Amino acid sequence: MNAHDTTLEIIPLGGLGEFGMNCMVLRYGADIIVIDAGLMFSEVGHFGVDSMTPDFTFLERHREQVRAVLLTHSHEDHIGSLPFLLKKVNVPVYGTPYTLSIVEPRLEEHHLLATTQLHPVRAGETVEVGAFSVEYIRVSHSTVDCCALAITTPIGTVVHSGDFKFDATPVCGDAIDVERLRAVGRRGVLALLSDSTNIERPGQMPSERVVIPALEEIFDRATGRIFVSCFASSIHRIQIVFDLARQFGRQVVAVGRAMERNIEIAERTGFLDTADLLVSAKDFKHYEPGETVVLASGCQGEPMGAMWRIADRSHRQAWMEAGDTVVLSARQIPGNEKAISRLINRCYRNEVQVIDATQARIHVSGHGAQEDLRLMLEAVRPKYFIPIHGEYRQLYRHKLFACQTLGYSPDRVLLVESGDVVVLDGETARLGDKITINRVYIDDTCSLELDETLLRDRKRLAYEGVVIAGVAVEESSGMLLGPPEITTRGYLGVDGDEEEIAELRDVVLAAVEALPPAERINGGKEHFQEHLRLALKRHIMRVTGQKPTIVPLVVVV
């Protein structure tokens, strides 16, 4: 009997040792399920890369075994790479109604909606997928319709927490179903996979309602327009803004495609009550400053985001003026500090008041702090615990927390990263052979995957520049028809320097003369071009130590 027939494998393809690209694979026998398929936004130095997805090679290799993708909630780091996965492995997708409503337009953009089977699942329902029985359990988070998954297998139950906090009084939807988590725990849980994002924060994460007093005070003081910029997925926050708009007699204007779309979906699926306060952005100009509150996407200072264009006065329908108030009701994602600072500076140029989370309690995290994580562990009471969703330090500290605070034996807490394979047989857990995974880079302008070599070439062009050497030779004789042409771009100390260009021209000329005329023609153009490239490379490396991209061009006339 094959070992896969009697063991459960848990294989993270992303999201462990990094923030984003959350994707977890479970395999039992000939059946594979995938939990979430997220992306990670690009980092500094990723030239022309907008986002990154997990490496789905493992799933492609075992595509006949993949039964379904199960989504925990609608954030980009959990659903963003779904279209790229479905292009490789077309399987049914399960998720809550709101989550699937957010997924649908993304699939349509990739021409996948008509060929993808979407199965809505409500909290409390169970789906059967191959050897797995998966129950959706309501949890609280910063967006709505979020669930943990209780996955029953022939050798035991695995609980995947998704993103969560213990919010007993959410603004929208139902509270986390603690009693159901405890019932699953009493039945016996082989392993818990739990979010580690906020393990470094003590105490319990407050309810989404904690931001209401500060926002209410802002609405009470404001005389001009109020601009609230938050994540378009923050439906709880958006509902609070609508409630305050009603209380203070303002109309709500939504600006930004993501904001408009998410408000429409949340209202349609029953998670948002706009109370007929929503007006079109094209009617913005018809209202007095004290009559509106604008909900704008682009809270991270994105150059093409709605908030930036409003502050920059380049938005066609909305603008800000002296006396208005700007509220940045979101956390600063690491790496976005400079962009947000530029946005704030741009807002101040309009003589407005800017309020962010450093000045008032207008944001609260959707991820549980230490007390929330303790409550999850105590409710589920797993035999084995696997920290997920976080950089290595969060995973490590989550393990220490479980061992030092809750008395878990270190051998019962498995510290793993993306690509590791956890093998469970119902009694024991061990690490199997690691699989090789790489980041896959995406250019969002064309929704294409970028080759690692292409990215490396872009980096070299950015840091070292390019040298283009062109020569023309006569087809019949192989003789040069003129002096070599040298063009440089971004090559330090050479661009525009005639002496340096002349020196490079001499190097090319010497390399041409080193080849007999017959060999220039009969040896093939590729051979001739490589000969010129190597000559330039050696000279430049010897003289400057630089490694520009060298492009030799041979024209045979």
Q: Which residues contact 282 (CB under 8 A, 6 or more apart)?
A: 317
CB under 8 Å, gap of 24 or more: what pairs does 24-29 form? 24/160, 24/193, 24/388, 25/58, 25/59, 26/132, 26/151, 26/153, 26/158, 27/62, 27/65, 28/4, 28/130, 28/131, 28/132, 28/153, 28/154, 28/155, 29/2, 29/4, 29/5, 29/131
Question: Considering the chain, what percentage of its residues have pLDDT values greater than 70?
Answer: 93
531 compared with 523, residue with greater pLDDT? 531
Q: What number is the average pLDDT over the span 51-61?
A: 91
Cα separation, 462 vs 293, whole angstroms: 43
The confidence score (pLDDT) of residue 541 equals: 86
pTM of the entire predicted model: 0.84
Residue range 119-169, pLDDT digits in tens: 999 999 999 999 999 999 999 999 999 999 999 999 999 999 999 999 999
The mean pLDDT of the chain is 91
The confidence score (pLDDT) of residue 286 equals: 95
Res. 283 pLDDT band, cuts 50 70 90:
very high
Phi, psi of 77 (to 5 degrees): -75, 5
Q: Measured between alpha carbons, how far is residue 347 from residues 282, 288, 325, 335, 403 in Å?
A: 22, 20, 9, 20, 48
Residue range 64-83, pLDDT digits in tens: 999 999 999 999 999 999 99
Q: What number is the average pLDDT over the span 98-107?
A: 96
Residue ranges of the binding site: 48, 50, 73, 75, 77-78, 141, 163, 363-367, 389, 443
Total residue count of the chain as it appears in this document = 557
The confidence score (pLDDT) of residue 441 equals: 72
Q: Which residues pair with 422 in a beta bridge?
A: 10, 431
Q: Measured between alpha carbons, how far is residue 448 from residues 81, 298, 410, 425, 437 in Å?
A: 12, 24, 43, 40, 19
Both tokens of 379, joined, read 């409710």
464 compared with 356, residue with greater pLDDT? 356
The confidence score (pLDDT) of residue 48 equals: 58
Cα separation, 75 vs 143, whole angstroms: 8
42 compared with 229, residue with greater pLDDT? 229
Active-site positions? 195, 367
Q: What number is the average pLDDT over the span 39-59?
A: 75
Q: Counting Cβ atoms within 10 Å, is residue 192 exposed (0-12), middle (13-18) or buried (19+)?
A: buried
Q: What number is the average pLDDT over the span 300-310?
A: 92
Q: Are 554 and 533 in contact (CB under 8 A)?
A: no
Residue ranges of the binding site for Zn(2+): 73, 75, 77-78, 141, 163, 389
Phi, psi of 244 (to 5 degrees): -70, -35
CB under 8 Å, gap of 24 or more: what pairs does 374-379 form? 374/401, 374/405, 374/406, 375/166, 375/178, 375/204, 376/161, 376/164, 376/166, 376/181, 376/192, 376/194, 377/192, 377/194, 377/402, 377/406, 378/406, 379/178, 379/181, 379/182, 379/185
Q: Are strands 23-28 and 31-35 parallel, antiparallel or unpaired?
A: antiparallel
Cα separation, 404 vs 451, whole angstroms: 44
SS3 content of the chain, % helix, strand, coil (to 5): 35, 25, 40
Q: Measured between alpha carbons, how far is residue 104 from residues 54, 110, 111, 118 in Å?
A: 20, 10, 10, 9
Q: What number is the average pLDDT over the span 431-445?
A: 80
264 compared with 557, residue with greater pLDDT? 264
Three-class SS string for 110-130?
CCCHHHCCEEECCCCCEEEEC
Of 73, 38, 71, which is closest to residue 271 (Cα–Cα)? 73
Poorest-pLDDT segment among 4-13, 61-70, 78-87, 309-318: 4-13
Both tokens of 460, joined, read 């070299």
Of 84, 88, 89, which is closest to residue 103 (Cα–Cα)? 84
All structural domains of the chain: 3-203+365-450 (3.60.15.10), 208-355 (3.40.50.10710), 465-556 (3.10.20.580)
Q: Measured between alpha carbons, how far is residue 224 from residues 113, 212, 247, 254, 353 in Å?
A: 43, 20, 16, 17, 10
The confidence score (pLDDT) of residue 1 equals: 37
Both tokens of 361, joined, read 């309690």
Residue ranges of the binding site for substrate: 363-367
Q: What number is the average pLDDT over the span 359-386?
A: 97
The confidence score (pLDDT) of residue 409 equals: 96
Q: Are 236 and 329 in contact (CB under 8 A)?
A: no
Q: Are 106 and 81 in contact (CB under 8 A)?
A: no
DSSP H/E element including 530 = helix 525-544
Q: What number is the average pLDDT over the span 489-501?
A: 73
Q: Counting Cβ atoms within 10 Å, is residue 334 exposed (0-12), middle (13-18) or buried (19+)?
A: exposed
User: How many C-beta neighbours within 10 Å does residue 521 have?
Assistant: 20
Q: Which residues contact 267 (CB under 8 A, 6 or more apart)?
A: 273, 274
**Listed ranges 89-98, 455-464, 478-487; the one with the highest mean pLDDT:** 89-98
Cα separation, 136 vs 72, whole angstroms: 8
Phi, psi of 168 (to 5 degrees): -80, -15
The confidence score (pLDDT) of residue 40 equals: 83
Q: Which residues contact 537 (CB under 8 A, 6 or more apart)?
A: 547, 550
The confidence score (pLDDT) of residue 496 equals: 62
The confidence score (pLDDT) of residue 450 equals: 59
Q: Which residues contact 48 (CB under 8 A, 6 or more apart)?
A: 443, 450, 458
Using the predicted structure, report yes or no on whether residue 3 has a pLDDT greater than 60. no
Res. 452 pLDDT band, cuts 50 70 90:
low
User: How many C-beta neighbours within 10 Å does residue 91 have?
Assistant: 18
